[in-house]
Amino acid sequence: MDEQFIFSKQYRNILPILAAVSLVVFLLAVVLSGSGSARIWSNILLNNQFFLGISLGAAFFIAVHRVATSGWQTVIQRVPDAMTSFLPVAFILMLLIYFGMNDIYAWADSEVYEGLTGAKKIWLNIPFYFVRMVLYFAGWIFFIRMMKKNSESLTISSDLKYHNRRKIFAGLFLVFFGITVSASSWDWIMSLKPDWYSTIFGWYVLISMFVASLCFIILITWLLRRMGYLKVLRSDHVHDLAILLFAFSIFWAYQWFAQYLLIWYGHLPEETSYFIPRQHEFTLLFFLNLGINFIVPFFGLIRTSSKYNLNRVAAIAAMTLIGHWIDYWLLIMPETAGTKATIGLPEISMTLIYACGFIYIFFRTLSHGPLIVKNDPFLQESLNYES
């Protein structure tokens, strides 16, 4: 019960080394392939978005379960909690985009900017872009910190006021998050193609980040279990995580299809300009995206017995996590790199750098407190949980 995660020396050494090696590989690959700074910046944007999404998705996971007064997740609660600690880093990394604006955002170019219509001139300009960015991050970090602080208080005190407080902050966070996650996806991803818009876009990105986040939670749960932690984890908890992955993968596919069908059916040139390059230039990835993110979890987890098997669920989560990286790739790269976009050594090594950094921060935060929040009012319920 008083389990404490120890960030072993082995991991503490391997992660930075792996990151450093990846960085060398990345720089070499960029230089040798002769790609310009655009490729560097689009890789940074892609991974910023992907890992920020995982981190935010975890906060969404916590807040939704909190507001729904759900109890089963209490034993793995600290995993998503620790995942949110990447947010401040993501903030700094997003601010870095300032130096690459011209390489990735077409509207940052003054000539393109002059050609925009009135509303877009107001919305898409560098100062306002960063003002909004600061606003989003300030809100997210504040609400998440408040939720986390009150959760942490429950490790020492059993006063219910902490529980009630974190619940209130979860509700407020959800309202703020609902608006800002849409708005930020318009800003950071949709505006890569300034002449295009789709109203479902924000919700689509939200679900994609949430599924990626679920995959990460499952993978970490599996890893902690392999390391010998989380002895109280029951197959019933695995089942519920699996059912979330299953259900939200279907929901993701639904959102994907809703957007595709309506644009395909309407056949308006200003809308189809988004799907045409993706479907015709990147056909393989375009269908791979659907295949991994929908077909794999759907058929992999459709049987009830498979949802109780942690190894199996983790394997599917690993594939789906890669699938959602591809989803983000398809959102971003065809706009920033055009038809030349590929998944090569630079993309893989840059993702590895981010992954190492993310996991390092995650493990460090996780080791700072006990794995199980002792005074959580739902702990006993979660320990005895039967699905």
Partner 1 sequence: MSIFQSSLRKPLIEGKKSYQEITSQILDPLVNKPIKLWYFAITLSGGAMLFGLLMMGWTIWQGIGTWGENRTVGWAFEISTFVWWIGIGHAGTFISAILLLFRQRWRNSINRSAEAMTLFAVICAALFPFIHLGRPLLTFFIFPYPNTRLLWVNFNSPLVWDVFAIATYFTISLVFWYVGLIPDIATLRDKLRKGLKKTVYNFLSFSWKGSARDWHRHEVTSIMLAAIATPLVLSVHSIVSMDFADSILPGWHTTIFPPYFVAGAIYSGFAMVLTLLIIARKLMNLEDFITVEHVESMNKILIATGSIVALAYITETFMSWYSGIEYEQYMLQNRMTGPYAWAYWIMIICNVGSAQLLWIKKLRRSLLFTFFISIVINIGMWFERFVIIVTSLHRDFLPSSWTMYKPTIVEYGLLIGTLGIFFTAFLLFIRVFPVISISEEKSILKTENALQVAKEIHHG
Partner 2 sequence: MDNKDYISVYFDDEDPMLQALRRLKENNLTIIDVLTPFPVHGIDKLLSVKRTRIPVGGFIFGALGGILAFWFMTWVFTVSYPLIIGGKPFFALPSFVPITFEMTVLFAGLSMAAGMFLRSKLKPDIRFKPADERITDNMFVIVIGSNANTTRESIRTVLSGISIIEIR
Interface size with partner 1, residues (CB under 8 A): 49
* Shortest Cβ 370–partner 1 spacing (Å): 19
CA 322 – CA 301 distance, rounded (Å): 17
Instruction: Assess 201 for contact with partner 1 (CB under 8 A).
Output: yes
Contact flag: residue 115 with partner 1 (CB under 8 A) = no
Query: Which residue, among 125, 70, 86, has the nearest Cα to 385 in the 3D structure?
Result: 70
Rule CB under 8 A: say whether 118 interacts with partner 1.
yes
Q: Considering only CA atoms, give the Rg of the chain.
A: 21
Q: Give the integer Cα–Cα distance in Å for 322 and 215.
A: 9
Q: Which amino acid is at 182?
A: S
Closer CB to partner 2, residue 20 or residue 250? Answer: 250
Minimum CB separation of residue 302 from partner 2 in Å reads: 7
- 370: β partners: 4
CB 75 within 8 A of CB 355: no
Nearer Cβ to partner 1 (274/363) = 274
Least distance in angstroms from the C-beta of 246 to partner 1:
9
Q: Is 290 among the residues that bind partner 1 (CB under 8 A)?
A: no
- Are residues 220 and 79 in contact, defined by beta-carbon separation less than 8 angstroms? yes
Nearer to partner 1, 27 or 160 (CB): 160
CB of 194 to partner 1, least distance (A): 9
Of 7 and 113, CB closest to partner 1? 113
Question: Which residues lie below 8 Å from residue 281, measured CB to CB, with a gap of 6+?
Answer: 334, 339
Q: What CA–CA distance (Å, rounded) separates 155 from 164? A: 15
CA distances from 354 to 21, 135, 202, 206 (A): 12, 24, 24, 20
Footprint on residues 120-139 left by partner 1 (CB under 8 A): 120, 123
Cα separation, 239 vs 301, in Å, equals 10
CB of 309 to partner 2, least distance (A): 15
Contact call for residue 228 and partner 1 (CB under 8 A): no
Among 38, 67, 112, 295, binds partner 1 (CB under 8 A): 67
Q: How far is CA 193 from CA 101, 106, 119, 338, in A?
A: 13, 7, 15, 11
Segment interacting with partner 1 (CB under 8 A) among 13-21, 75-83, 103-111, 112-120: 112-120
Residues 6 or more apart whose Cβ sits within 8 Å of residue 3 = 229, 230, 231, 370, 371, 372
Strand partners, 4: 370
Residue 386 binds partner 1 (CB under 8 A): yes
Q: Exactly one of 131, 175, 227, 276 binds partner 1 (CB under 8 A); which one?
A: 175
Q: Which residues bind partner 2 (CB under 8 A)?
A: 257, 260-261, 264-265, 267, 302, 304, 386
The reply on whether position 248 binds partner 1 by CB under 8 A is no
Q: Which of 259, 336, 349, 351: binder of partner 1 (CB under 8 A)? A: 259
Binding site for partner 1 (CB under 8 A): 67-71, 116-120, 123, 160, 163, 171, 175, 178-179, 182-183, 186, 197-203, 243, 247, 250-251, 254-255, 258-259, 261-263, 265-266, 268, 270, 377-378, 380-381, 384, 386-387
